[in-house]
Amino acid sequence: MAIYLTKESKVLVQGMTGAEGMKHTRRMLAAGTNVVGGVNPRKAGRTVDFDDRAVPVFGSVADGRARTGADVTVLFVPPAFVKAAVVEAADAGIPLAVVITEGIPVHDSVAFHAYARRRGTRVIGPNCPGLITPGESNAGIIPADITKPGRIGLVSKSGTLTYQLMYELRDIGFSTCVGIGGDPVVGTSHIDCLGAFQDDPETDLIVLIGEIGGDAEERAAAYIRDHVTKPVVAYIAGFTAPEGRTMGHAGAIVSGSSGTARAKKEALEAVGVRVGSTPTETARLVTERLARRE
Amino acid sequence: MDLYEHQARELFAEHGILVPRAEITDSSKEAREIARRLGGRVVVKAQVKSGGRGKAGGVRVAADPAAAELTARQILGMDIKGHTVGTVMLAQPVDIEAEFYVSYVLDRAAGTFLAIASAEGGTEIEEVAAARPEAVARIPVDPAEGVTTATAARIAAAAGLPPQTVDVLVRLWNVLTREDAVLVEVNPLVRTAQGRILALDGKVTLDDNARFRRERWGAQEATHDDPLEAEAAAKGLNYVKLEGEVGIIGNGAGLVMSTLDVVAGCGARPANFLDIGGGASARTMADGLNVILSDPSVRSVFVNVFGGITACDAVADGIVSALDSVRLTKPLVVRLDGNNAARGRAVLDARAHPLIQQVPTMDGAARRAAELATNAT
């Protein structure tokens, strides 16, 4: 088992025929992902060859879903067109849409998140690396070969810190790693993933990676106190970030007294979560915690 | 991007929200002329992107054109929280009968916008919100529906605002959505002795991600206070200047933020944040290195890359090619891991530059870069 994504997942790629879409579809296929089609209205009916796989291109998400039973879509669509693309996926009844694109206007995000929620489509992202269930399926741009299947669940706002922790804990392995994205408004939260990992019998421990901005980590802490019985180890980035400057991610900004790394660390520690001071120390805390269980 | 007050009021006026008559200038002589045109008595307001202007002495009333010139001369060039005042706005005074507060802000947790309103506006709104939260109404707005007259009436009623403000609430929502703003705030929104509702001061923050469809303030956005930030932005690099001595380059915002923290944990201060992004080419790496090396406060540089989409050999090639255009005078500590790390390390080993050293772990490399910066003093 895993959360949100398994080897049975049938994946469509919106924007597959673009440069990024082509590159990452090839990587997803190499990781074992069951990519059942791409979507491009101008190239419907063609197929694209990826090494030994010919992937069909559909004119719409609805058509792709009707013909293949696709239940996941990964979006490599330019920012201006993401809103329409998510609406299309939600209208087609796709249960999970993974939005890799960064730089989406927040009014568009607010609109498509509200729309998707109403239609029952879970959105992961935007501005995220996607999610991977090692050895089974990879929906997005997370490198597949730096870790292996195992029993740690990982949820993170940051792509590269996801990779760093996956690599440091490669000998233990992961059930699923979810990059939820660094934008101010994202479709799937730390809390959603904590709940899913808590319910997943194949996850023993959860790693949570946060960063400055907003209060998602503080809310996650309250959720852990009330609902999570599995051990959680966390890492927070941005202790040295100055107030009022955006540090790379659109959502990573300390405004006034809110959104500081210190406040997030303290909230997590107050509910019994161990918080590492570096990624390496965080990995060590995970190893120690798992050893104690045995 | 934050707008200046005079830009915010320009947007308000275009969307049919009443504002006092006003003009801006960067010359105290012209301030005298403007005051004369506006009827003599004026409010002189510093135009800086910072709160607390009033308390800092940046907002003053001048009784006549001569006083306006003198006041403008005093305010121009003032420093308000690190911002130098380059322009002042001169506005007609208003007979205030009541002050209110209204804003729309992004509610990250709910994934929508929130209307915040209070019948007790003015400079003390933060204190009001802290001491008596019940005096401030907070009402989520359904993004599909927006703020209709009915929604606005509900917001006004909840906050205890007079019915004449309903129209302003609708128009302010139009500013937010049509201008791609993430924050619009009017404080104070006032009722004059004549019963008119006027926006006396306002703040608008635009969404940087929407620049591609809102080019109006484009030229403004390109100006950076720091010349290195301007240069980095021109090259498409994500760079923030900081106060320390260890230059930092990495890939991915999260990893770079983390690198800053780890270096600080080793007792040194990061000189900057520089994210070369995902899938960075050798060219990007060379550009990034050039920016950091032209900062005179940098004493050592830490290149921290975990190759995911980014290939470590491209990063190493970038470092080597940068050596053709800049003379390396500062030590460079490099940690490469992930995608093509072995090839990247081999490229740097082959170049064998005396100032470049590789350290295999992030923590170890941070410690080395911190030591080198500290010993350089």
H or E element at residue A216: helix A216-227
B182-216 pLDDT, tens digit each: 999 999 999 999 999 999 999 999 998 998 888 77
Please indicate whether, in this complex, the C-beta atoms of A114 and B112 are within 8 angstroms of each other.
yes
Residues in chain A closer than 8 A to B112 (CB atoms):
110, 114
Tokens of B300: 């050592």
Please indicate whether, in this complex, the C-beta atoms of A185 and B113 are within 8 angstroms of each other.
no
- Mean pLDDT to the nearest integer, B368-372: 97
Single-letter amino acid, residue B296:
P
Residue of B367, B287, B283, B293 whose CA lies nearest to B272? B293
Structure confidence at residue A142 (pLDDT) = 95
Across the beta sheet with A205-211, the strand order is A137-140, A130-133, A174-179, A149-156, A205-211, A232-237, A274-276
Tokens of A65: 């879903």
For A33, phi then psi, to 5°, come to: -65, 135
Greater model confidence, B203 or B131: B203
> Radius of gyration (Cα) for chain A, nearest Å?
19
C-alpha distance from residue A97 to each of A71, A90, A223, B116, B298 (Å)? 9, 8, 24, 32, 44
Rounded to whole angstroms, the Cα distance separating A265 from A56 reads 47
User: For A168-178, b where at least 16 C-beta lie within 10 A, e where not — what string?
Assistant: bbbebebbbbb
Greater model confidence, A209 or B217: A209
H or E element at residue A33: none
Structurally, at CATH architecture level, domain B96-211 sits in 2-Layer Sandwich (3.30)
pTM: 0.94
Single-letter amino acid, residue B177:
T
Single-letter amino acid, residue B305:
V
Exposed / middle / buried, residue B296 (Cβ in 10 Å: 0-12, 13-18, 19+): exposed
Please indicate whether, in this complex, the C-beta atoms of B338 and A163 are within 8 angstroms of each other.
yes
Residues 259-288 of B with CB under 8 A from A: 260-262, 264-265, 270, 273, 275, 278
Comparing B90-104, B111-125, B162-176, the range with the smallest average pLDDT is: B111-125
- Mean pLDDT to the nearest integer, A179-200: 97
Tokens of A284: 């060590």
Structure confidence at residue B34 (pLDDT) = 97
pLDDT higher than 70, residue A110: yes
DSSP 8-state assignment for residue A276: E
- Mean pLDDT to the nearest integer, A30-58: 95
Greater model confidence, B82 or B265: B265
Give me the residues paired with residue A209 across strands: A156, A235
pLDDT above 90 covers a percentage of chain B that reads 75
Place of tokens 């990995």: A283
Residue of A26, A15, A149 whose CA lies nearest to A76? A15
* B185 in A contact zone (CB under 8 Å): no
Strands B356-358, B112-118: parallel, antiparallel or unpaired by DSSP? unpaired
Give me the residues paired with residue A169 across strands: none
Its CATH class, for the domain covering B21-91, is alpha beta
> Radius of gyration (Cα) for chain B, nearest Å?
26
Question: Is B54 marked as binding a ligand?
Answer: yes
Q: Are the C-beta atoms of residues B244 and B296 closer than 8 Å to each other?
A: no
Helix B5-14, helix B166-178: angle, nearest 10: 110
CA dihedral B90, B96, B99, B101 (to 10 degrees): -30
Distance of CA A10 to the CA centre of its chain: 17
**Which residues, at least 6 apart from B296, have a Cβ–Cβ distance to it below 8 Å?**
none
A 10 A CB-CB count for B143 gives 18
Residues 149-208 of A with CB under 8 A from B: 156-164, 167, 182, 184-185, 187
Comparing A241-250, A268-277, B13-22, B262-271, the range with the smallest average pLDDT is: A241-250
Structure confidence at residue B29 (pLDDT) = 96
What is the chain A residue with the closest CA to B111? A185
Structure confidence at residue A103 (pLDDT) = 94
Which CATH number is associated with domain B227-375?
Answer: 3.40.50.261
pLDDT above 90 covers a percentage of chain A that reads 93
Comparing A47-51, A152-156, B217-221, B271-275, the range with the smallest average pLDDT is: B217-221
Structure confidence at residue A49 (pLDDT) = 95
Greater model confidence, A46 or B53: A46
What value does the mean pLDDT of chain B take?
Answer: 92
Q: Choose the closest CB to B363 out of A103, A187, A278.
A: A278
Q: Are the C-beta atoms of residues B14 and B6 closer than 8 Å to each other?
A: no
Greater model confidence, A101 or B133: A101
Residue of B236, B156, B240, B168 whose CA lies nearest to B199? B168
H or E element at residue A64: helix A61-68
pLDDT higher than 50, residue B222: no
Question: Is A18 marked as binding a ligand?
Answer: yes
CA dihedral B344, B345, B346, B348 (to 10 degrees): 90
DSSP B61-109: EESSHHHHHHHHHHHTT-EETTEE---EEEE----EEEEEEEEEEEETT
Mutation site, B177, B309, B315, B336, interface A, largest A CB count within 10 A = B309
Rounded to whole angstroms, the Cα distance separating A15 from A124 reads 16
Rounded to whole angstroms, the Cα distance separating A187 from A116 reads 9
Q: Are the C-beta atoms of residues A267 and A208 closer than 8 Å to each other?
A: no
Place of tokens 């090259």: B235
Rounded to whole angstroms, the Cα distance separating A197 from A205 reads 8
Exposed / middle / buried, residue B371 (Cβ in 10 Å: 0-12, 13-18, 19+): middle
B276-332 pLDDT, tens digit each: 987 778 888 889 999 999 999 999 999 999 988 888 999 999 999 888 887 888 999
- Mean pLDDT to the nearest integer, A253-262: 87
Greater model confidence, B166 or A52: B166
In terms of residues, how long is chain B? Answer: 377
Greater model confidence, B310 or B122: B310
Q: In chain B, what are the domain boundaries?
A: 21-91, 96-211, 227-375
pLDDT higher than 90, residue B219: no
Comparing A164-178, B69-83, B279-293, the range with the smallest average pLDDT is: B279-293
